[in-house]
Amino acid sequence: GGKPWTELLRTRILEPLGMTCTNSRVPTLPLAGDVASPHAIVDGKLRTVAYTNIDALPAAGAINSCAADMAQWLRFQLDSGQVNGRRLVSARNFRETHTPQLAVRIDSAYRVLNSATHLRSYAIGWVVSDYHGREMLSHAGNLSGMAAMVGLLPEERLGVVVLSNLEDQSLRESLMYKAFDLYLGVPPKDWSAETLGEKRRADSVTAADERARAAKRVPNTHPSLPLERYAGMYADSLYGPAKVTTENGHLVFAMAPRQIGDLEHWHFDTFRAIWRDHRDGKSLVTFELDPVTGSVRTMRVVSDPGEAEEQVPVYRRVP
């Protein structure tokens, strides 16, 4: 289109649809007045957390909207890319966004949770599946402190959007499926109880992973360098800059705006980051030393014990 993505979004989609409260600039949110604050459960307590600022890659989830505007988006999707008879996207291109591109495996846990779905695939921005004999398109959204769900039953001309300001919960799925079930007149199901059980099973796996990680910790080790030698500026090609400082006798790691973690020594040159305003409170930060100079060369941040090697951010020391 020859223009920034955010400008094309505004002129080609948002304005024609009348989506006046929608934007893709997180820093403007506090100025908007009636805006939801993100929340998370941190150490067993409900806490307000920071907005996630991913303006640098806005198509991946930087859009902020409201219920009224999302209703316009649903109508647009259910009317094959049109608004009030005006076509915004060609019929061919619109169909392509709803066309399966990639098969998605249905594991045993998903089959137990949702026996009405037999096939799943991924289109362009949509999960395509069957639900009680109807085609269903859906997609969830997650950022720190926020969770969203958009679901469509195109054959029924029905759409549902759920916006929530609490992360890591299944209210969005429960409400979407409940609305679909009521509309279709299928036998009732206690989706809240089902998703709560799945959440508890997932939490149990996470706790087991944390215990396994702790069991591998090597006791009675020390950092290779004085703490001030680890301090400095670092940068990752995707996540951007990060800063390590010393504060009251320990290291502090600052990533995105307001995402700050206190580093406590774990073993060798690895520290555990306890994030001050985020529920994922215990990442491991490992400093790699240059074999010739002995100075810090890179910093790796592992948040999930099962994280693949290629997914681990590697911050390089900025001279």
Task: Note the pLDDT tens digit of each residue in 235-255.
Answer: 998 888 999 999 999 999 998
Residue 53's pLDDT is what? 78
Please, what is the Cα angle at 58 between 55 and 61, to 5 degrees?
A: 110
Q: What is the mean pLDDT of the chain?
A: 91
Q: From CA 258, how far away is CA 260, in angstroms rounded?
A: 6
> Token pair 């099962």 is at which residue?
306
Q: Give yes or no for residue 91 having a pLDDT over 90.
A: yes
pLDDT confidence of residue 137: 98
Give pLDDT, residue 280. 56
Q: Is the pLDDT of residue 230 over 60?
A: yes
Which are the contacts of 110, defined by CB distance < 8 A and separation ≥ 6?
Answer: 117
Q: What percent of the chain has pLDDT over 90?
A: 67
pLDDT-wise least confident of 125-129, 165-169, 268-272: 165-169
- The CB-side HSE value for 97 (13 A sphere, CA atoms) comes to 14
Alpha helices in 19-157 (DSSP H): 67-78, 91-97, 108-113
Distance CA 140, CA 173 (A): 8
Residue 152 has pLDDT above 90, yes or no: yes
On the question of pLDDT at 138 being above 80, the answer is: yes
pLDDT band at 281 (very low <50, low <70, confident <90, very high): low
Give me the mean pLDDT over the 138-162 stretch. Answer: 95
State what percent of residues in the chain have pLDDT above 70.
95
| Better pLDDT: 22 or 26 | 22
Could you tell me the CA-to-CA distances from 124 to 89, 94, 154, 177 in Å, in that order?
14, 10, 16, 22
Mean pLDDT, range 25-48, rounded to an integer: 84
Of 50-64, 98-112, 199-213, 264-278, the least confident: 50-64
